[in-house]
Structure 1
Amino acid sequence: MSERIESYGAFFLFYLREHARPLTRALHYAAAFASLAVLFYGLVIGPLWLVLLMPLAGYGLAWFAHFFIEKNRPATFQYPGWSLISDYVMTWLWLTGRLGPWLDKAGVARSKAPAHQR
């Protein structure tokens, strides 16, 4: 990517294209849940220092997906804030069954799998 993306709307479509493979997205969903679980556990049950492991829980699976499945460079390296937000936005859209139209808008081909598996 050579030009800097200036709006979050444009970035989110780019982000979805960088997560074109269903397995990449699935690993990102798992990473989002893992990071929130670590945060919750550290804050509520403790010890509090476990909260420091949240980035590892969140980025470990996600980066694995980029390097070995999608075979691209995580957008986190250039757009850390927007990428972090987009991980949770994409997961929320998937959970609520509203990700499909966004994938279409981004030009990401979808499989014939049931909607909950996309």
Structure 2
Amino acid sequence: MPTVLKEKEFASFAEFYPVYLSEHSNRTCRELHFAGSTIALLCLGALILTGNFWWLLGALVSGYAFAWIGHFVFEKNQPMTFKHPLYSFMGDWVMYWQMLTGQASF
């Protein structure tokens, strides 16, 4: 009988984040993440200014579309969002902040 491998469980975000970063070694993938997250923030700003909730859809689509293109086309791996959605979402914003402040490279 084939052995079924259990998906890796992380005890904490601190344990997850280094693995998350290792899945973003391609520069273009990181740049696409940053661009998508920036557009998502702009869409959220437009939502606040206009009250039009279509901007929320724009934020979600831009954030995930840019990241997924980065993974499937450049990084050639599956986004961690599919198996660890909350930690992955948190990781996106930590990585974004680190790139914005120069703590991590583009």
TM-score, normalised with respect to structure 2: 0.87
Aligned residues: 101
Map 1:11-22 to 2 at 5 A. Answer: 11-22=16-27
Report the alpha carbon displacement of residue 19 of structure 1 after superposing the two structures with TM: 0.3
RMSD, matched Cα? 1.5
- Gaps of at least 5 residues in structure 2 are 1-5
The offset of 1:52, in angstroms, is 2.6
Which amino acid in 2 is paired with 1:95? L
User: Please, which moves more after superposition, 59-68 or 41-50?
Assistant: 41-50
Distance 1:31 1:84 in 2: 13
**TM superposition shift of 1:48:** 2.7
Residue in 2 that maps onto 1:28: 33
User: Gapped runs of 5+ residues in structure 1?
Assistant: 101-117
What's the secondary structure of 1:72's corresponding residue?
coil
2:68 maps to which of 35, 57, 63: 63
Q: Percent identity at matched positions?
A: 36
C-alpha separation between the residues in 2 aligned to 1:99 and 1:10? 18
* 1:72-94 Cα shifts (integer Å, max 9, x gaps): 01000111111111111101111
Within 2, Cα distance between the matches of 1:77 and 1:86?
A: 13
Q: Which residue of 6, 13, 19 corresponds with 1:8?
A: 13
1:7, distance to aligned residue in structure 2 (A): 1.3
